[in-house]
Amino acid sequence: MADGRVVRSVGTVSDRTLSGRQLAALLTPPADGRFGYRELARAVRQALLDGRVALRLRLPAERELAVALGVSRTTVTGAYDLLRESGYAHSRQGAGTWTALPEGQPPVGPAALQGDSGTVIDLALAAPEAPADVLSDALARAAAELPRYAASQGYHPYGLPELRAAIADRYTARGLPTRPEQILVTTGAQQALALAFALLGGPGDRVLAENPSYTNALDAMRGQRMRITPVPVTESGWDSGLVDAALRQTAPRLAYLIPDFHNPTGRLMPEEQRREVARAARATGTWLVVDETLSDIALDVPAPRPFAASAGPGAGEQIIGVGSLSKSCWGGLRVGWVRASARVVTELARVRITHDLAGSVLDQLVAVALMDRIDPLLPGRAAELRRRREALVAALATHLPEWRWTLPPGGLCLWIDLGRPMASQLAAQALRHGVRVEGGARFGVDPGTHEHRLRIPYALPAEVYGAAAERLAAALAGAPAPFADPALPDWVA
C-alpha cells in the first residue's frame, strides 16, 4: 500500500493514487451525462481547480477510469492527452500520470498593498462587531472583580478557574459532559490550534485537512512543516469514503476539521457522518483537531452538538475541540479554549507556557461575565446576521447575477462560484475599486486551486453590501479604477 507522502516540490509526485471509482465520483458530468474526451478533460481540470482533486496526485490508469465511467479507453487517452497539452497533467514512463498546474497559474501569496485604506470596504474578515450593551455590562462586572485578582501575580497558565468552569458547564449543557480540568483557556482559537499542532505534530508528519479550509490554520500547519493531505469539501459537503480512504492510505498523525458551518463553504457535517469520521480516525490512531468556533452561528438550523458528543463511545479521547468567543461575541476579546482530556490539557499547558505564560486576566474576567449571556444573546445575533446575509444576496443578485452560491445554514460567509478561474485577478482589481475581498486560492491546500471562488462574509452592516457589490461589478467589467492600491493588512479572519 502506498504510504501517502505529501511532498513539497512541484516537480515531485505524491505516492497517493486516485482509483477510477474515486475520480469518477469527484467529476461533474456534462449536461447530457455522456463524457467525450474534451468533456472529461474539462471535468478533471475543474475538479483540480476546485480543490476536489489534489495537485501531484496520480490519476488512475486509463483502462480503470474508462471502466468506472463507462466510456472507451480511447476517450480517457484523449482526455489525458489534452490535460498534458494544457499543463494540467504530467506523465513519465513508469510513473504514470499525475495532476499539475500550467506555468503561470497564479499561486497563493501575499498581496503588495499600498496607499490609503479609508475608502475601502473590507470583506476579508468574517467576524461581526461587538454587541455594545452586553459588552459594556460585562466590562463593568469584570472591573468590579479585578481588584480581587490584582493582589496576585496574575499568571494562570490553564486559565482562570471560574472561566474554565463556565466553559465546561456550557459543553455539558450542549450534550458533552465536561469537567473544568478538561478546559485550557487560550489567547483566541488561533493559539489553541497552534498549540494542538505543536503538541501533536512536527516536521514531516502528515496531517489531513479539508480542502478548502481556514487559511490561518493551514498556515499554522505549514509553519510546523507538516505534510498536508487534502480531502475535498464541496457544495454537497464531505465524502465519507474519501475521508476514510485518505486516513487509511496516509495514516496521518492528526486531522483538522471544521464540521460546524465550515469556513469557507458554510457546510454542516451530519451527525452520522461525524460518527463515521470518528470511527475511521480511531482505527488509524489519528487525532482529530475539531474547530468549533462557528458552532453558535446557526442561522437556519438548530445549533449542532459538540463533535465529541456525536463521535460515539470511546472516540472522545482522540478528539481535541477548539472554540472561542470571537464569532459569537467579539474578535477583540482574545479568549479561546481547548476541550480535551485532562492529560492532553496538561501537556498543552506546558507547550503554552513557552509561548506566552498565560492569558490576560482582564479579558478572561470579561469572558466570565459573558458566558451566562451567550445563549440569550445568540437569537438576536442570528436575526441580524440573517438580515445581513439577505442584503448581501440581494446586492449580488442585482449587480452580479451570473455568480452562483449555495446559501449556508450558518456561519458567516458565502462561497461564491465565479464560473471561471479569475479570483486572484479580480481581488487585485477590486482593491483599486475600494473593496478588499479574498480569492478562493487563499483557502486551498494547494497553490492555485479554487481560483474560480471568492469568500464574501456577511458580517458587516447590511447597508454596506449594495456599494460593495456595485464596486465588485465595476472591477469585473474592467472600469477605470478610482483609487490607488490601498494599504491593507494581508490577513483574514
Which one-letter DSSP state was computed for residue 412?
Answer: S
Is 208 within 8 Å of 246 (Cβ atoms)?
yes
Give the integer Cα–Cα distance in Å for 267 and 247: 21
CA dihedral 389, 392, 397, 399 (to 10 degrees): 180
What does the pLDDT read at residue 2?
A: 32
Give the integer Cα–Cα distance in Å for 65 and 407: 33
Fold for domain 20-99? Arc Repressor Mutant, subunit A (1.10.10)
- Average pLDDT value for residue range 251-266: 97
Q: What are the C-alpha distances in Å from 309 to residues 272, 278, 316, 348, 408?
A: 12, 11, 8, 22, 23
What does the pLDDT read at residue 131?
A: 92
Is 186 within 8 Å of 162 (Cβ atoms)?
no
225 has a pLDDT exceeding 90: yes
List, for residues 288-323, the tens digit of each pLDDT value.
999 999 999 999 999 999 999 998 777 778 999 999
- Average pLDDT value for residue range 133-154: 92
Provide the CA 140 distance to its chain's centre, in angstroms.
35
CA atoms within 13 A on the CB side of 352: 28
What does the pLDDT read at residue 317?
A: 85
Length of the chain: 493
If one compares 314 and 243, the residue with the highest pLDDT of the two is 243
Which one-letter DSSP state was computed for residue 58?
Answer: B
What are 415's three cell numbers? 462561497
What does the pLDDT read at residue 12?
A: 54
Give the integer Cα–Cα distance in Å for 242 and 24: 12
- Average pLDDT value for residue range 474-488: 77
What does the pLDDT read at residue 488?
A: 57
Give the integer Cα–Cα distance in Å for 373 and 138: 9
CATH of 121-126+378-477, one of 2.102.10.10, 3.90.1150.10, 3.40.50.300, 3.40.50.980: 3.90.1150.10
pTM of the complete model = 0.85
Each domain of the chain, given as residue ranges in start order, spans 20-99, 121-126+378-477, 132-372
What does the pLDDT read at residue 116?
A: 37
If one compares 445 and 14, the residue with the highest pLDDT of the two is 445
| φ, ψ of residue 439 in degrees (nearest 5) | -70, 160
- Average pLDDT value for residue range 463-492: 83
**For residue 489, what pLDDT band results from cuts at 50, 70 and 90?**
low
List, for residues 408-448, the tens digit of each pLDDT value.
999 999 999 999 999 999 998 999 899 999 999 999 998 88
Level-2 CATH architecture, domain 132-372: 3-Layer(aba) Sandwich (3.40)
